[in-house]
Structure 1
Amino acid sequence: MKPLVSAFNAWTCIAISLFAIVILSVIGSMFANGHHSLMGSDEDPEDGGKVAAAVFGAVGVYGVFLLFCGCQAFVHRRQSRQGEIALR
């Protein structure tokens, strides 16, 4: 199998996805619980549950990115270890 992205891009995507999953999970849980720093003002959203659902949807998208880039990094690592034969 040939990788679609470079090894650097795959590992960068993994790092960014992990960071986004952690940060967005914290923000989503704060909206879900109605934390006063996010829901205490008049300009804040009325329904924190709907906002939390949207944020957790973004967490799912980043989870898919993490899975894809993890597979790409695995393919790069396998190629570098086994010396894949290239037919020209």
Structure 2
Amino acid sequence: MKPIVSAGNAWSCTVVSVFAIIILSIIAVLYRSEHEEFPSQDPKGVSGTIFTAVIVYAAFFVCCGLQGLLHVRESRRGAISLS
């Protein structure tokens, strides 16, 4: 299987996804616990929406991480890179 995106894009997407998962999870937990700094009329709905974004970033993490690992595997075989 060949990688679709470049190695730099794959690894940067992976790192951004990790940080997004961590930060959005913390914000969603704060909304769910009805923290005073995050006022909302529907805190459960807001936290549910944020957790949906966390799931999307988790999918990005998996896909981009696999693309990065494909680049690592390809470079170990001695493939010539034109990029």
**TM class, shorter-length:** over 0.9
| Residue 84 of structure 1, CA deviation | 4.7
SS in 2 for 1:38: coil
Give the structure with higher Rg (CA). Answer: 1
* Equivalent residues, number: 80
User: CA-atom RMSD, angstroms?
Assistant: 1.2
Q: Aligned residues: percent identity?
A: 45
SS in 2 for 1:36: coil
Distance 1:47 1:3 in 2: 42
Distance 1:7 1:84 in 2: 14
TM-score between the two structures when normalised by the length of structure 1? 0.87
In structure 1, list runs of 5 or more residues that go unmatched: 40-44
TM-score between the two structures when normalised by the length of structure 2? 0.92
What amino acid maps onto 1:34 in structure 2?
A: E
Could you list the structure 1 runs, at least 4 aligned residues long, displaced by more than 3 angstroms after superposition. Answer: none
| Residue 82 of structure 1, CA deviation | 1.6
Distance 2:77 2:43 in 1: 50
